[in-house]
Amino acid sequence: MLEASCPTVGVDVGGTKILIGLVSGKGEVLFSRKYPMRRENQAQAEEAIFSAAGDFAAALKEHPELPAPAALGMGAVGHMDPEAGVWLHSYNIPVQTPIPAAERMSRLFGLPAWLDNDVHCAALGEGLYGHGRKAQCMLYLNVGTGLSAGILQGGMLLRGADNYAGEIGYMDMNCDEGGQKLEPAASGGGLIQGALELLPEYPGSLLETAWKEGNLHSTAVFEAAGQGDPLARRLAERAVRYLGAAVCNLMAVVNPDAVVFGGGAIRSPGMLEQVSAYTAAHCVGETYKSLRYIGLSALNPAETGMIGAAALAGFGLSGSMRARP
Amino acid sequence: MLEASCPTVGVDVGGTKILIGLVSGKGEVLFSRKYPMRRENQAQAEEAIFSAAGDFAAALKEHPELPAPAALGMGAVGHMDPEAGVWLHSYNIPVQTPIPAAERMSRLFGLPAWLDNDVHCAALGEGLYGHGRKAQCMLYLNVGTGLSAGILQGGMLLRGADNYAGEIGYMDMNCDEGGQKLEPAASGGGLIQGALELLPEYPGSLLETAWKEGNLHSTAVFEAAGQGDPLARRLAERAVRYLGAAVCNLMAVVNPDAVVFGGGAIRSPGMLEQVSAYTAAHCVGETYKSLRYIGLSALNPAETGMIGAAALAGFGLSGSMRARP
């Protein structure tokens, strides 16, 4: 169990926007601002991030009524070295040369600062402020465009040797069939890709209409499946089976008492209910008995990245990560 | 990275024998004794364990030249509550009524004492004294009669909510095929069971001879597979494919820099080499890059349980578990 900590600053660097906020020790957003992101090249990306941070640091000083933050956390997509506070690499945002992001944030705000990837941050946010707060051990699954996970036991996130832990999208769910990975079957991006590949086999599918209208996403797949569309059913059933089996496997490995889902795709109509039902039917009894919660994240989806980054700072202060600067 | 600690006592309670030893901070067995185990019922099992412990405690006093142990660890098969130090339940050894084993050991030796299951202990032994010592994050796999794992990051073992973490035998490796679990395919017990089920389909198989001679175990399967026996090849190839895919999946989840195998079955001729080759061929590149070691445990197989139990005490002293008494 984790105790709520002091207010911290969370910086969420996304592909199109940067969200920065002051977050209370209970996870409430006390003050926040949104900035445009730029990603034509690394220099512009850095300029966008650190000028936004500079603006927010100045804004905090203009609001002396707000409580002073004790630390800062930053989350973004890519490969991070959380111990060094360095953003090593990213495809989505053009980072080819490592950025000492924690150190630069630390100087801008005069605060200790930490850095991790977006899904690790989201898991920490859920752990500190959400359904993980009362859990001994939480499995957090982000089911969005891609698929990844965070495993939290007590105050510690499983990061692995190089901070790659949680890359569950690569799990092989059918090793007898020459290998079939989880992410292409059960992520939002995988559902779209699967629909596009199979559309020629299903003329007249509701997903063809959705595609023509620019609405082909996981919600459309689960809606059409609910209406009995054969292609959509095939895709939705496979997504549920793969994700359900993966959750059962991870529960056997991790023995969590909380399984929390974040991300956009899992909010497709019926998906979470069906995955939960698969898990209840297939998970090994002793492991399933430990489960106290399985369901959606408690955090506002629009603010999960920022709140998670603030939680990263809270965990940093708690000593579960090496302090900086 | 873990520092070697003080000498500790390790108590390994097996189905047929109890092994107790004084183990140095580097994992060397300084002094040990073997006692017969009894398991007709719980009372006799407890009598065997605690009278053996009493004898060992007295023997230590008769050897003042030995360094004094700082703590005691006990490992056994079954469901343990390591925080409470209570052996909750076991099938192999008849434990129906919880045994406050750590408290009783603590009183007998006048030392703080800890308790965990045998595979968690083996993983901790590998972490403190073996190939996990220099690892940031270790995945330990026990491939014996059954299959289970220990995941160690820094000084912390992933135990989960109820100490069931690591039950990888339940992983479903073929969710499209109605579910095919890892343990029946890739454990020593699973290989024997699989051979017995398929023997009628393969008259004249070398495994039939092995079975008649009372030699049907995983070594016989891999030996016969090496000689081209069709049934043995089918079983061995499936075991390698399932275990290899499971290792790849666990590497994606955990991102270890060391993957260490213990247990008897993995020592079947060629099995480890084939599983390692599968992993090298199928594991996701970024995850595989983190790997510094994949191979057999550094510990003497005959003493792994005892050394692991001693390591449990070392971890206990390090503060990674709540102190006791």
CB proximity A149 to B under 8 Å: yes
Residue B275 C-alpha, separation from nearest chain A C-alpha, in angstroms: 13
| Residue in A161, A174, A256 nearest the CB of B175 | A174
Q: Does residue B18 have a pLDDT over 90?
A: yes
Task: Between A325 and B216, name the one with better pLDDT.
Answer: B216
Q: Does residue B29 have a pLDDT over 70?
A: yes
Q: Does residue B38 have a pLDDT over 50?
A: yes
What pLDDT, on a 0 to 100 scale, did the predictor assign at position A316? Answer: 85
> How many CB atoms are located within 10 Å of the residue B196 CB?
12
| Residue in A171, A242, A256 nearest the CB of B161 | A256
Distance CA B207, CA A210 (A): 57
Contact list in A for residue B178 (CB cut-off 8 A) is none
Residue B180 C-alpha, separation from nearest chain A C-alpha, in angstroms: 9
| Residue in A161, A175, A238 nearest the CB of B245 | A175
What pLDDT, on a 0 to 100 scale, did the predictor assign at position A166? Answer: 97
Average pLDDT, chain B: 94
Q: Does residue B322 have a pLDDT over 90?
A: no
Mutate to test the interface with B, among A137, A157, A170 (most CBs of B within 10 A): A170
Mutate to test the interface with A, among B1, B80, B172 (most CBs of A within 10 A): B172
Confidence of residue B155 (pLDDT cuts 50, 70, 90): confident
Cα three-residue angle A236-A239-A242, rounded to 5 degrees? 145
Say if the Cβ atoms of B160 and A137 lie within 8 Å. Answer: yes
Q: Does residue A320 have a pLDDT over 80?
A: no
Confidence of residue A46 (pLDDT cuts 50, 70, 90): very high
Structure tokens at B2: 């873990």
**Portion 250-269 of B in contact with A at CB < 8 A:** 250, 252-257
Say if the Cβ atoms of A179 and B257 lie within 8 Å. Answer: no
Task: Between A86 and A91, name the one with better pLDDT.
Answer: A86
| Residue in A168, A241, A254 nearest the CB of B252 | A168
Q: Is the sign of the CA dihedral A155, A160, A162, A167 positive or negative?
A: negative
Contact A235, A265 (CB under 8 A): no
B231-253 confidence digits (pLDDT tens): 999 999 999 999 999 999 999 99
What pLDDT, on a 0 to 100 scale, did the predictor assign at position A321? Answer: 57
Distance CA A323, CA A313 (A): 10
CB proximity A289 to B under 8 Å: yes
Say if the Cβ atoms of A245 and B180 lie within 8 Å. Answer: no
List the one residue out of A325, A318, A315 whose CA is nearest residue A75: A315
A169-207 confidence digits (pLDDT tens): 999 999 998 889 999 999 999 999 999 999 999 999 999
A227-238 confidence digits (pLDDT tens): 999 999 999 999
Say if the Cβ atoms of A176 and B173 lie within 8 Å. Answer: yes
What pLDDT, on a 0 to 100 scale, did the predictor assign at position A319? Answer: 65
Residue B132 C-alpha, separation from nearest chain A C-alpha, in angstroms: 12
Distance CA B324, CA B84 (A): 9
- Counting Cβ atoms within 10 Å, is residue B293 exposed (0-12), middle (13-18) or buried (19+)? middle
What pLDDT, on a 0 to 100 scale, did the predictor assign at position A317? Answer: 81
Nearest CA in chain B to A243: B175
C-alpha radius of gyration, chain A, whole number: 20
What Å distances lie between residue A257 and A10, A272, B163, B168, B300, CA to CA?
27, 17, 11, 17, 35
Say if the Cβ atoms of A151 and B255 lie within 8 Å. Answer: no
ipTM for this model: 0.95
What pLDDT, on a 0 to 100 scale, did the predictor assign at position A318? Answer: 75
Average pLDDT over residues B16-36: 97
Average pLDDT over residues B46-69: 97
Residue A254 C-alpha, separation from nearest chain B C-alpha, in angstroms: 5
| Cβ within 8 Å of residue A203, ≥6 positions away | none
CB proximity B88 to A under 8 Å: no
DSSP structure class, residue A199: G
A96-141 confidence digits (pLDDT tens): 999 999 999 999 999 999 999 999 999 999 999 999 999 999 999 9
What pLDDT, on a 0 to 100 scale, did the predictor assign at position A236? Answer: 98
| Cβ within 8 Å of residue A315, ≥6 positions away | A114, A124, A127, A128, A155, A157, A321
Mutate to test the interface with B, among A249, A279, A320 (most CBs of B within 10 A): A249
Average pLDDT over residues B48-56: 98
**Portion 162-201 of B in contact with A at CB < 8 A:** 162-177, 179-180
Nearest CA in chain A to B156: A156
What pLDDT, on a 0 to 100 scale, did the predictor assign at position A40? Answer: 95
β-pair partners for A21: A10, A32
What pLDDT, on a 0 to 100 scale, did the predictor assign at position A325? Answer: 36
List the one residue out of A67, A55, A75, A63 whose CA is nearest residue A28: A67
